[in-house]
Structure 1
Amino acid sequence: MNDTINLISNHRSIRKFKNKKLTTEQIHTIIGASKQASTSSYVMAYTVIGITDETVKAKLKEVSGQEYVAENGHFFVFCADLNRIYQQASAIEQEEMQESIESTEQFLVSTVDTALVAQNTVIAAESMGLGTCFIGSLRNNIKRVNDILELPEHVVPLFGMAVGYPDENPDKKPRLPIEVVYHENKYNKDHQSQQELIDSFNEELKMYYQTRANNARTDTWSEQMVRKYKKAIRMDVTTFIKNKKLNKR
């Protein structure tokens, strides 16, 4: 395997960072690489907000409940952003654009664009010897995050990312087998064969949890997923996004 494949294949989330800030040059290098991600029709429907104000970091940590939102080398918030495009138009053109801007299709475009940029951010940062961790828990109170960051209409905070110098070396967490996530020509609806692969993966993950250096426990992927989806969370996100005039049609 080449260096890029090795880098991607050895990803692990870092949740403990050394007390050392990223330099402006490092941040610009990371974002410079990130924005070269593929983008639908060249719309580049995202904005990345770097958080340098410790007071703002503390507020975001309160929403997330995770210490590493505040304790890291740099914190990014990734936003789906159709406002920038909307502002390119005259008032009359904006009326003509409204149906498209507010559609589910364009919300998906902006979300995918943002995710692609974020993954590029991970790869760029890790190639520089830094660690990263996605922070979806900013959506625990998405309206408050919106207000803290003073986001305009047509902009939604999707997730954060902590980046910094690792102060831990966690074990690499197993992933589902290739045959489960990659199908050829059509969706594989052979539940039995798929479940056999997942059962084997569950045993591998159970062993990982029991033997890892920190937070050992007995658990499987299937058990986690059933627990997770039996309890609906962040149900306010739907109304919030529609109030931001996105995903309405």
Structure 2
Amino acid sequence: MNAAIETLLAHRSIRQFESTPISDEQRCTIIDCARAASTSSFIQCTSIIRVVDKEKRRLLAEYAGNQAYVMEAAEFFVFCADYHRHLQIKPDAKVGFAEQMLIGAVDAALMAQNALVAAESMGLGGVYIGGLRNNPDKVSDLLKLPEQVVPLFGLCLGYPAQDPEVKPRLPVDLMVHEDKYQPMDKTRLAEYDDVVREYYSTRTGGNRTMSWSEQISATLDKESRPFMRDFLHSKGFAVK
């Protein structure tokens, strides 16, 4: 085991931050690590909006579902899929394809993961904010995102003011398949449900005892942001 692996395995989402700022050197290094991530066909179709303005932070926290840590974190980045830059280079570029949306989402996720791992290696912590997609139109207007730029998620970064446990992930044999997709082992799933139930019970002092299967059933029992397709189309994405 080395320091990089230890950092990856120790990941926790941090939602409470100290008031200590992140230095300019740290921030620049984090962004450089994000920029070093793999990019499909060297298209580099991602932009990062660093949000410093306090009022914009307050509004973004509200748009994301009143997540206060968007305001409290030392840094807040918004990761966007961006083909607007490419249109400025080639105005008649063939854009709007669903595959390009996938490339933008994958590239942004790779960049953001690099950024978070780099931050965690410095003793910082963070949490991703998918809640920005609750109000993508308002986020887009606030950040003045042009056509062919879509806000995908945010990232809070700062010095942790909490020390949560590592959340238990699915067992390897339920997630990794060999040669072909394998049927799910219901016994292993039940064992994992017990682990997650105990995790939540410990974390909440017994106020929550939900299993992973119960959580997933509740999450997938309703529509999830059904307005996203129309929003993507309005920004010129996935129309072909």
TM-score bracket for this pair, using the shorter chain length: over 0.9
Shift of 1:14: 0.3
Matched residue, 1:110:
104
**What does residue range 136-215 of structure 1 map to in structure 2 within 5 Å?**
136-188=130-182, 190-191=183-184, 193=185, 195-212=186-203
Matched residue, 2:48:
48
Structure 1 unmatched runs, 5+: none
Matched residue, 1:69:
70
SS in 1 for 2:135: helix
Amino acid in the other structure paired with 2:50? G
Alpha-carbon distance in 1 for matches of 2:224, 2:33: 34
Match of 1:228 among 219, 222, 229: 219
Matched residue, 1:218:
209
Structure 1 residues 161-201: Cα deviation after superposition (integer angstroms, max 9, x where no partner): 1000000001111000011111111111x23x2x2221110
Shift of 1:86: 1.7
Structure 2 unmatched runs, 5+: none
Matched residue, 2:36:
36
How well do the aligned residues superpose, as a CA RMSD in angstroms? 1.2
* Percentage of matched positions with identical amino acids: 41
Shift of 1:215: 7.3
Shift of 1:216: 4.1
SS in 1 for 2:156: strand
SS in 1 for 2:72: coil
CA contact (8 A) 1:45 1:110 kept: yes
Relative to the length of structure 2, the TM-score reads: 0.96
Amino acid in the other structure paired with 1:112? V
- 1:21 equivalent to 2:21? Answer yes
Match of 1:128 among 122, 127, 148: 122
SS in 2 for 1:79: strand
Amino acid in the other structure paired with 2:87? Y
Alpha-carbon distance in 1 for matches of 2:208, 2:32: 40
Relative to the length of structure 1, the TM-score reads: 0.93
Matched residue, 1:83:
84
Alpha-carbon distance in 2 for matches of 1:84, 1:211: 48
Amino acid in the other structure paired with 2:197? K
SS in 1 for 2:89: coil
CA contact (8 A) 1:20 1:72 kept: no
